[in-house]
Structure 1
């Protein structure tokens, strides 16, 4: 179940969670660090920032350039034995030490390694929010062990949707790659889960068949932690539902006791 504090963050202007950010340098890219920390800031305050790896190795050179700038504490772990990942063990031990301080509301685990699935499950058992960040190669087991999982590909600087190779002769009635919108190109690379989204909407509607956007988004995350509208070319979930006019009917309503408007949707 998604933490109530994580759900509350959707409607709050201030960060609500105290987070420990733990980065596996062996399975994360330094190029995403700026977007990564900005994404984490949406959920709460990164009160601890640590990165684990062998920083004497050439493969960690890119991380060494950004550690001081982003105030990330490096935890050096020498590779004493080839083929044995001591970094994972050190990160897990530190996570458990931090857990028992009882100072944190949640953990951000930045890795694409399934070895941290057990850690994510253990943290959840303690009632803490677990946010995962990793590449698309991240095994499903780890993604589903987190309350929310974000693919780091969408956090890269100036993220652009990569064109998908299509035959030189485009069939009649189909747009060429050059004329596709970013959302259309993204959907070629990531098939939009229509049935899953409509099922989630059905489960989050009221008796009149309408669902508040925040409720719908929360339910999507509960069912599929790695669901992200950015994978389909839309910066926000609200942009996605407004664009999918063939699937949804949207309506803005005045929030009780407020000047703000709230977006509602139902299946078409």
Structure 2
């Protein structure tokens, strides 16, 4: 399973990650804090432990996990043994912890929730990247189908899994979908209005379902076309029509079993929503030692 190299994946700024982790901790702490741990564990007790893999996968979310422990108590020592994009097998140690027992136990669930979730996204992405690679140049990209509040972390996890990011939100690129086309009265007027009302650095992509719609999009110079729910044969014909004039993106019903044939069509990008909205977690757990 090939992934991004941990050394080449830039971490997200703490300023971006910390509010997400802080909100998760506040949700968990509620109105009275960790009443179980505070009642049972002496204030001066210390704990050494590891977060280890229970199953194989690709790591993501280590920064969020580290911040969870540090926000509860900066005295917790957190050492990341396997960073973003690293492959893990059952038993592998991902993070080593040492410090006040109360803080470690209180932050444990939030740290694991984020680490398991993001590692699941990275692992799902890596599975598609691996399946697509022998068949063409296509990059696997995510969508805006992300967990509310976790988009930055999930998109980072996609990169950890060897994938790339589509737009981050509604404000960084134009993506004209079928309902936009319906309201605008056609593909051509939709693209023309978008170009007239956005800055010169903003890319314009349009979703098409047929080769006739593709011809319309190309006639007015779309920067990218989203080829939605096309068969591999239709995709290959679309790529030939595009002939390098626009970025070709395939989308719709992409699985590990189908992604190879889609990649073989010659598209530039393959977008997939399930790698963020439906990826299964990777099971990791905290073991005291």
TM-score for both structures, normalised by structure 2: 0.27
Q: Which has the higher contact order (CA 8 A, sep 6+)?
A: 2
**Larger Rg over CA atoms:** 2
